[in-house]
Amino acid sequence: MDVMDFFRMSAGQWNSQRTTHHLPFRRAELGGSTIAVEALDAAHPSVVEICNLHEVDPALAVGGALVTWQGAMAWDKEDENHEGSTVFALVPDAADPSRGQLLRERGYAEIVPVIGRYEIDGDEGLLLITEYETMSSVERFWFANPNLRLRTSVVKRFGGFSTASFCAESRLAAPAAEAEGKSEPALAPVSAFGW
């Protein structure tokens, strides 16, 4: 599996249930979100634009993705907003295409343009590693089956605060192109935890 295979498998709409552990406080917080993923080919204008933003030759990119989300966490204040979108481009290392740069116009833990690293591991999981000015994040995604994607993340703040999250993401809908031309995969059952 290469990195674009992973994003093509991720394309579609997902319902995500998240448990976030706030490690310094020894407390867990539940939340949920709806996520949409669209795989983008290497020539897509958004991929080219992100490469140009980071001064990377767009010809080196193998593609990318557009990810949008809308969600809520249990401890949200009235004005808190967990929705947004990000576009990123994938630029594999010349020596090992299972690893490379992840160019983002918006980071996961800080809302700034950032260059992270990706790696497809030996178990066909996708590992994303991003270093920011004030924190770092490590995320791992993998498929339990085509309609159930799992994700872990650890965010470490340089002041010592850390969070660890686990997400179970059930496919709600296949990408439009797949739904129009091919049989749509069966939907995963609703989680016992409720969405």
Going by pLDDT thresholds of 50, 70 and 90, the confidence category of residue 164 is very high
β partners of residue 57? none
Identify the H or E element spanning 37: strand 27-41
Which of 22-31, 107-116, 118-127, 153-162 is predicted with the least confidence, judged by mean pLDDT? 107-116
Q: Give the C-alpha separation, 190 to 195, whole Å.
A: 7
Q: Give the C-alpha separation, 30 to 25, whole Å.
A: 15
Q: How confident is the model over 87-135, as pLDDT tens digits?
A: 989 999 999 999 999 999 865 555 678 899 999 999 999 999 998 888 8
Q: How confident is the model over 50-100, as pLDDT tens digits?
A: 999 999 999 999 999 999 988 777 666 666 666 888 898 999 999 999 999
Which of 68, 53, 63, 55 shows the shortest CA–CA distance to 105?
53
pTM of the model: 0.81
Q: Give the C-alpha separation, 191 to 170, whole Å.
A: 8
